[in-house]
């Protein structure tokens, strides 16, 4: 008894401690307040970063020159020229390993096909989203006010004398054995034992488990649109089950009909329980009810009808209201569809996001086509030729050949790099100067042949104008080098001939180059904004922010993001509005359901020492 009392006391103490702790945590949560800041106080429009596409650096070089840049993924099989050698326009300079070129071409073609398929699937998904039915239009079942009825319990009629009927537990005593039982094949000329082929009086075909229904019989039944019941019996002629064939309810195709056995897909265990294999092609509906046979009806006398024993109230004694008829199918909602799942506003946002995704995929397709056309140009014979008359100033070596230690020792690690350093081959002619600068593949569309760029010398402070004359097909690198640009894009070299102020610049002068982004033909306004990177929390491959809901409580909101600029700002493409209020998503008090308090103090990259 003492042990029981001690046990109950322990339970009371533990339970009280638990519920006390829960109450303490709930009170603490209610008293916790987190500061939130309006997004419009910290967001930066995407146009603010346009300078990252406009500003770049370059170098003044001899205009009448050819520089050959080798794709780092390709192998140079043969070099045909030497340094100092004079060449004419059209002379071969080098030859690629065609095995690598062919492989590259196949890869580029595959990328184009994948990009096209992605666009096709994205557009198909967009059409599906546009067909979504909003949740505001979801059908609701009508509600009826049914009156209350007081029914008097009717008197039950007397039960008939059961001694006049056979033993109900002995099926053989009730039902006579079947006739015309088939154990081999039911052919087209087979005569049913009963019925006229109508739904009320179907053909009755009695057979054993070994019987086969021939294709000819099926063609006859389907062609004549006759209803059939194939009744299956065991060795002792005890009824097992039946196959119901109704051509008017099943889309049978004559040329696809085959012979089948009545035991196909049926397994009967030792207990007499039957199961069906749905993977087997079935030509009828399996049923374990009694056959629609006259001998089954005759086995039970007409006067023994249970339905006759049920009391029936007088209809004219009830005042039943005239309720409107309705079809339940009109209120059915398919659980596997997206109908009535999203609101109109949510569907509108889904459409906007999908359209944005399609635009990104179309840009990816343009890039893939550009790379494919470049690869096709190199497939002609795998050779690169001189484009001008001149002499070979620099030439690299074929793949596999290495520089000697003497050549490596002569390299000045601290010298100012020149545009020739990254070139595999340089051929120089005579006359003019040009500017060499770079552009990432993400900004290729902002550069057009014939467009003008402004040039400013850091050495002499001179200003001039150059005209874009060429964009190299081969990338300098497979990683973006431009400050503030996406680091996952390749970098291409631009040639621009000096057309104004050329005499104020010297060869190999480093210059500041400014490109006019307004020259881009299809420039469009961006709907995205940038917010400080530390206001976004990454969760696996997803990103979310913590914002105040309509009740002023903190909740998690997943967002769609783009590129990161300057390692400080992240592009938000969806899931965030300018009037939302968000908080710094880190800290022990930042939890869903916590109260929020609006403040005008935002944590900006300029006044914090941490980045995520």
Q: Which residues pair with 186 in a beta bridge?
A: 213
pLDDT in tens, 393-416: 889 888 877 554 444 445 555 555
pLDDT at 166 over 70: no
What does the pLDDT read at residue 412? 53
Q: For residue 111, give the 3-state DSSP assignment.
A: helix
- Note the pLDDT of residue 237: 86
Instruction: Give the mean pLDDT of 376-398.
Output: 80
> CA 304 → CA 156, 159, 200, 295, distances in Å?
15, 9, 22, 16
Q: Which residues contact 510 (CB under 8 A, 6 or more apart)?
A: 57, 58, 59, 416, 457, 458, 459
Sheet holding 92-96, edge to edge: 76-79, 92-96, 383-385
The predicted-structure confidence for 85-131, as pLDDT tens digits, reads as follows 988 888 999 888 777 778 878 888 999 999 999 999 999 999 999 98
By CB neighbour count within 10 A (0-12 exposed, 13-18 middle, 19+ buried), where does 248 fall? exposed
pLDDT at 367: 85
Q: What pLDDT was estimated at residue 556?
A: 92
Give the range among 190-194, 233-237, 380-384 with minimum mean pLDDT: 380-384
How is 226-262 classified by DSSP, letter by letter?
Answer: --EEEEEE-TT--EEEEEEE-TTTS---GGG---EET
Query: What six digits make up the tokens of 327?
Result: 């079809």
Phi-psi category of residue 318: left, alpha or beta, with phi > 0 → left and psi -120 to 50 → alpha: beta
Mean pLDDT of 181-188: 90
pLDDT at residue 517, as a whole number: 53
The reported pLDDT for the residue numbered 122 is: 93
Identify the CA nearest to 243 among candidates 269, 294, 209, 215: 209
More confident residue, 255 or 181: 181
For residue range 23-76, list pLDDT tens digits in order: 555 655 567 899 999 998 888 877 666 544 566 788 888 777 787 877 666 788
> What is the model's pLDDT at position 530?
87
Q: Note the pLDDT tens digit of each residue in 343-379.
A: 889 999 999 999 989 988 998 898 888 888 877 766 6
Strands (E), 334-389: 383-385
What was the pLDDT predicted at 491? 77
pLDDT, mean of residues 551-561: 91
Diameter over CA atoms, the chain? 129
Lowest mean pLDDT among 137-141, 152-156, 491-495, 542-546: 152-156
- Given a cut of 60, whether residue 610 has pLDDT beyond it is no
Mean pLDDT of the chain: 77
Of 266-270, 517-521, 586-590, give the lowest mean pLDDT range: 517-521
């Amino acid at each position: 008894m003492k042990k029981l009392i001690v046990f109950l006391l322990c339970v009371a103490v533990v339970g009280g401690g638990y519920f006390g702790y829960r109450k303490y945590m709930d009170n603490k949560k209610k008293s916790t307040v987190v500061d939130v800041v309006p997004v419009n106080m910290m967001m930066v429009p995407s146009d603010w970063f346009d300078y990252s596409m406009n500003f770049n650096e370059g170098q003044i070089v001899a205009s009448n020159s050819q520089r050959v840049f080798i794709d780092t993924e390709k192998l140079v099989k043969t070099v045909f020229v030497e340094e100092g050698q004079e060449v004419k326009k059209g002379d071969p300079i080098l030859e690629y390993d065609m095995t690598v070129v062919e492989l590259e071409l196949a890869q580029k073609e595959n990328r184009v096909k994948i990009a096209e398929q992605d666009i096709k699937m994205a557009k198909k998904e967009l059409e599906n989203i546009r067909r979504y039915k909003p949740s505001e239009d979801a059908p609701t079942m009508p509600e009826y006010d049914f009156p209350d009825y007081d029914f008097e319990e009717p008197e039950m009629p007397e039960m008939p004398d059961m001694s006049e009927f056979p033993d109900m537990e002995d099926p053989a005593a009730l039902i006579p054995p079947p006739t015309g039982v088939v154990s081999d094949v039911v052919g087209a000329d087979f005569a049913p034992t009963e019925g006229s082929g109508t739904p009320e009086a179907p053909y009755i075909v009695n057979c054993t488990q070994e019987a086969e229904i021939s294709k000819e019989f099926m063609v006859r039944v389907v062609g004549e649109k006759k209803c059939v019941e194939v009744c299956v019996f065991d060795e002792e002629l005890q009824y097992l089950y039946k196959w119901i064939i109704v051509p008017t309810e099943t889309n049978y195709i004559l040329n696809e009909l085959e012979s089948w056995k009545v035991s196909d897909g049926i397994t009967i265990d030792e207990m007499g329980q039957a199961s069906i294999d749905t993977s087997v092609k079935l030509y009828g509906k399996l049923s374990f009810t009694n056959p629609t046979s006259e001998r089954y009806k005759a086995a039970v006398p007409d006067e023994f009808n249970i339905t006759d024993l049920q009391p029936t109230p007088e209809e004219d004694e009830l005042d039943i209201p005239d309720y409107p008829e309705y079809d339940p199918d009109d209120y059915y909602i398919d659980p596997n569809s997206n109908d009535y799942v999203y609101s109109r506003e949510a569907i509108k946002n889904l459409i906007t996001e999908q359209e944005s995704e399609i635009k990104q995929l179309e840009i990816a397709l343009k890039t893939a086509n550009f790379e494919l056309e470049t690869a096709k140009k190199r497939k002609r014979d795998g050779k690169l030729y001189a484009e001008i008359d001149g002499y070979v100033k620099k030439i690299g070596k074929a793949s596999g050949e290495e520089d000697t230690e003497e050549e490596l020792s002569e390299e000045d690690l601290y010298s100012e790099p020149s545009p020739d350093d990254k070139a595999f081959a340089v051929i120089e002619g005579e006359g003019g100067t040009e500017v060499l600068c770079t552009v990432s593949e993400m900004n290729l569309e902002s550069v057009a042949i014939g467009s003008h760029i402004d040039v400013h010398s850091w050495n002499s402070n001179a200003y001039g104008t150059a005209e874009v004359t060429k964009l190299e097909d081969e990338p300098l690198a497979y990683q973006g080098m431009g400050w503030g640009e996406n680091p996952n894009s390749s970098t291409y070299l631009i040639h621009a001939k000096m057309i104004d102020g050329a005499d104020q610049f010297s060869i190999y002068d480093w210059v500041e180059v400014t490109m006019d982004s307004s020259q881009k033909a299809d420039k469009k306004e961006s709907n995205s904004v940038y917010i400080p990177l530390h206001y976004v929390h990454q969760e696996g491959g997803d990103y979310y922010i913590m914002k105040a809901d309509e009740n002023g409580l903190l909740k998690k909101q997943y967002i769609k993001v783009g590129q990161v600029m300057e390692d400080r700002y992240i592009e938000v493409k969806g899931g965030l509005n300018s009037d939302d209020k968000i908080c710094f998503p880190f800290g022990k008090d930042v939890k869903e359901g916590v109260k929020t308090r609006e403040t005008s103090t935002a944590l900006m990259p300029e006044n914090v020492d941490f980045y995520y």
